[in-house]
Chain A
């Protein structure tokens, strides 16, 4: 990452913007909330990727997590939709201009309960967007009820022990044929940032299930959703970095077989550096397997769990004109006057 510093002025990125240009309004989340650390990494990722803020569009549902889009990318368009029904909103809007990057924020309640249907259909359509689930295993905004991702047997302050088995968002995404599935932990900001960058550069839907502790309602050490529990049980699959087109990758690592590369459509690469066991993110079978193993062993497994960079995305299937649809003019949209006869001919 090259930062330009001119005459003691603030550092800028390659398109001349400062980090402040990627920030939003003052957060109203509780101090220490995991959602804010994710918001900060979104700012960093977009800054480092040299994204034009106007070229990013934010969507969210309802929840503390879904409030957070106002805390980053203040210059970008955004739409705070309905609880659990953000995916449809983003999908419809995405057709208007397929050149923008869609950054969608949801919570575990928003996605895995009320929004499960839209979430899964959004996956199977391979809608080009980054879909971040800020997963705290609790309903923050409505003050501490258990969510569908709360582990079984966890004691919540007002609501007693959770009775049911949790939903695993990555498993649901995989089962719905998502083309980019990753898990991360708000307490691991570097990994969060690199995954966000890779997700933005992925051409289809990219799901990031980021464990994001709710310090107010659900920060028990016994839960993987807490800072301490998460840190203690994190099992990263690899070291991950997004490398843009022009940056070079050192050859040594390739030769020793410690590096795996995922070529993305923009010419950049996701570089995965081996940590322990060999892990193949192109294999759905391995992905299911690791999630199952993590569940049994109570691991917070993080990293790029699955990726298919080549699958056609939603827009590819519609053969749209090159001009963004929302910039088309009357002459492109209204058939010429002689076509009225054709219309009348159809009604005979």
Chain B
């Protein structure tokens, strides 16, 4: 247990910062652009440059379900204290889309700044905001960039203006371009030249009238910056993934795309041949079917999807649960039911994922909060699936999967791969000897509910068995006897209990004297930590338990027991984790209160504080 509030691995000063005129490294910038205009490069470049300046930073994309033409927003938050959660309003807003000017102006925090394209000619109806017009069209035209790239170059122009006005280090911008263009010098130089010219224009034409500034720090030394989906793919690769089948769906597609990009870098055999296969299936039923087939046949197998796809996977997951097939399913959640808000984030699949499929099924669930955990759960999920011979679901979400996060660097797996109880020819021979000739695929030899398994290709004449979803006995033989069915279900339940104790344990953070508990999981983490900081300033001390796996370990009920009341913070309408907690610890359910909402946006710290305080006021 750690006595602290901490975020993104950055230590936080729990005292209030000195209030001064200048605001250094503690604000958000929102870029309002048009989908498909190429603004991503510009936004990522600014974010990377700030990261390379040593300042904690995050980047969140709020994008429409559209390819080209609709408004889209990207918010960079920089925080010297390491608070990188979502903010509802930004101190600085950059408006490249004249159509959204009025709406964007309303989102500027009082005393904030608006940079805007001078194509907007209307009034600026807020006296508390500093406004800087930017002649982006004119500046873009002055470059010798081909006309078809001008839309894109207009975005590069604002990098230069912002860099000049906020003090972003030009050398770092150059390096950020190098990262983005993967060292292609011509692209780097021509983009950088545009930045230079725009900065020069700003220097000569804009007078700084706002307090916001960035200044170098050293808080990101050795840290990494990226998206959870890329981290998930890399983690799976270090977990020895051998097979993945998938079907495109936002926000999970970039897991498979990252596998395709990174596998050849990490996993080519000496002769250049592949030790893996990634297949784009015809739908999610096929994606999970292939993954179940591969897992059954002894491959480390994973598929990635989101809610609608998971719905299609339900029947196969039930079969895999009952036939005891290892596989991993990453569910990168978005807002549903149905297509819902497909490009917005939520934690709405908790109960569905935990109990998916008909009959009595239940699944091991891992819930990462950070890039580093996406990596760790990437490899650990494959170990856990093989160890327990069961589907493991990893619950990520759009915010973690597709947005940009900083984190402590990945660490090499600290233990050898766990292939579970798999028997090849010689192992099987020994097992048969050990059991005096008795051998069955579903025999509970060790009393932990986990049987031994053989896989196809094994040449031992007693290795083969017929896997099935129909009732089967210890030897895999068809049976309809009531006692056989019950015995099988009991063993599966025992296996699940065995898992409880060895899954990633919850993370607990305490403050001396706190009576109130908070339970959260996944991407609400940053906002929860910041909320605890804000609550502390109000004199309300909280302890915090972050769930990292289901089924819960005993620490979770102990935590609830220790507190007068516990707020369960989650990004869904029904308070799904609270439902699960209440069902698993009915005697403690009266202590649980819900801080749950879903509207497409991540939780902000302010929102958590608001929702929590409104319940504190009630007796």
B437 within 8 A of partner (CB): no
Q: B285 is contacted by which of A88, A97, A322 (Cβ under 8 Å)?
A: A88
Closest chain-A Cβ to B422's Cβ sits at a distance in Å of: 9
With contacts A78-B466, A81-B319, A334-B417 known, is A100 near B457, CB below 8 A? yes
A93 touches B456 (CB 8 A): yes
Closest chain-B Cβ to A63's Cβ sits at a distance in Å of: 13
B54 within 8 A of partner (CB): no
What's the Cα separation between A55 and B224 when bound, in Å? Answer: 47
Closest chain-A Cβ to B384's Cβ sits at a distance in Å of: 16
B464 touches A335 (CB 8 A): no
Residues in B whose Cβ lies below 8 Å from that of A96: 243, 294, 297-299, 455-457
A158 within 8 A of partner (CB): no
Q: Which of A31-39, A248-256, A340-348 contacts B (4 or more CB under 8 A)?
A: A340-348
A335 touches B238 (CB 8 A): yes
A325 touches B275 (CB 8 A): yes
Give 1 or 0 for each of B534-572: 1 = CB within 8 Å of chain A CB. Answer: 000000000000000000000000000000000000000
Nearest residue in A to B294 (C-beta to C-beta)? A92
Nearest residue in A to B409 (C-beta to C-beta)? A344
B200 within 8 A of partner (CB): no
Residues in A whose Cβ lies below 8 Å from that of B458: 54, 77
Q: B293 is contacted by which of A91, A117, A334, A348 (Cβ under 8 Å)?
A: A91
A346 touches B271 (CB 8 A): no
What's the Cα separation between A87 and B290 when bound, in Å? Answer: 8
B243 touches A333 (CB 8 A): no
B297 touches A92 (CB 8 A): yes
The number of chain A residues touching the other chain, given as a range, is: 35 or more
Residues in B whose Cβ lies below 8 Å from that of A76: 464
What's the Cα separation between A85 and B467 when bound, in Å? Answer: 15
Closest chain-B Cβ to A60's Cβ sits at a distance in Å of: 9
Residues in A whose Cβ lies below 8 Å from that of B292: 81, 89, 92
Closest chain-A Cβ to B265's Cβ sits at a distance in Å of: 7
Q: A82 is contacted by which of B269, B276, B315, B464 (Cβ under 8 Å)?
A: B315
Residues in A whose Cβ lies below 8 Å from that of B412: 337, 340
With contacts A82-B289, A321-B271, A344-B410 known, is A75 near B464, CB below 8 A? yes
B249 within 8 A of partner (CB): no
What's the Cα separation between A89 and B245 when bound, in Å? Answer: 11
B60 within 8 A of partner (CB): no
Contacts A79-B467, A335-B237, A339-B266 aside, 17 further interface pairs with beta carbons under 8 A come to: A76-B464, A77-B467, A80-B467, A85-B285, A89-B293, A96-B294, A96-B455, A96-B457, A320-B273, A321-B274, A328-B242, A332-B275, A334-B239, A334-B240, A335-B238, A346-B226, A347-B409
Q: Footprint of A on B, CB under 8 Å?
A: 48, 51, 179, 224-226, 230-231, 234, 237-240, 242-243, 245, 262, 265-267, 269, 271-277, 279, 281-283, 285-301, 315-316, 319, 323, 371, 375, 409-413, 416-417, 424, 454-461, 463-470, 477-478
Q: Footprint of B on A, CB under 8 Å?
A: 25, 52-55, 57-58, 69-70, 74-82, 85, 87-97, 99-100, 117-118, 121, 318-322, 324-328, 330, 332-335, 337, 339-340, 342-344, 346-348
